[in-house]
């Protein structure tokens, strides 16, 4: 019985090694964590990839919303973004609500998906078309897309 169990274990290990090697060598192999891990964890949120969001930066009916704390927004942000920090939405909302048009698409990002989700849900509850940026601020920077620095 021990011998059979040992053989089964050896076959499983060999299969796993072959699968890993095959996936690594093969072009277009399967991603290990998924291409949009935020979309898996927060499935009720409409997520947009950085690749799909980048061209929308030129669309006057699309606005990027930064959910990070104000100090981080002031240092560096997506070009043309507005700040709506998730830490105190009620107070921060008063500063931008008159600026937003209900026909706009809002793309929310942060460096923490929890902040993004909080702001997406807040804006969605107020009737806006809103999406979360998959990968957030880190993905935007990694793609070397337009950003602003300094105070606004």
14-31, pLDDT tens digit by residue? 878 777 777 666 655 555
CB 89 within 8 A of CB 96: no
CATH 3.40.250.10, domain 37-147, yes or no? yes
Instruction: Give the pLDDT score at 103.
Output: 93
Instruction: Give the pLDDT score at 3.
Output: 80
Instruction: Give the pLDDT score at 88.
Output: 86
Instruction: Give the pLDDT score at 34.
Output: 47
CB 66 within 8 A of CB 84: yes
pTM: 0.73
∠ at Cα 129 (123, 134), nearest 5°?
Answer: 85
Instruction: Give the pLDDT score at 33.
Output: 47
Low-confidence ranges of the chain (pLDDT < 70): 23-43, 151-152
DSSP 89: H
Instruction: Give the pLDDT score at 1.
Output: 72
Q: What are the residue ranges of helices labelled H in the chain? A: 2-25, 37-41, 50-53, 70-75, 89-96, 113-124, 136-142
Cα distance between residue 100 and residue 42, in whole Å? 25
């Amino acid at each position: 019985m021990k011998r059979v169990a040992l053989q089964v274990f050896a076959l499983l290990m060999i299969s796993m090694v072959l699968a890993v090697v095959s996936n690594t060598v093969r072009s277009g192999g399967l991603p290990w964590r998924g291409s949009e891990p935020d979309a898996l964890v927060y499935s009720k949120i409409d997520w947009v990839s950085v690749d799909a969001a980048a061209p929308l930066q030129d669309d006057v009916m699309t606005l990027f919303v930064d959910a990070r704390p104000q100090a981080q927004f002031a240092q560096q942000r997506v070009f043309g973004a507005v700040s709506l920090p998730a830490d105190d939405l009620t107070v921060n909302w008063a500063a931008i609500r008159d600026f937003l048009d209900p026909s706009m698409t809002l793309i929310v990002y942060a460096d923490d998906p929890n902040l993004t989700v909080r702001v997406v849900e807040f804006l969605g509850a107020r009737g806006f078309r809103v999406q979360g940026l998959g990968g957030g601020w880190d993905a935007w920077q990694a793609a070397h897309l337009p950003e602003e620095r300094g105070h606004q």
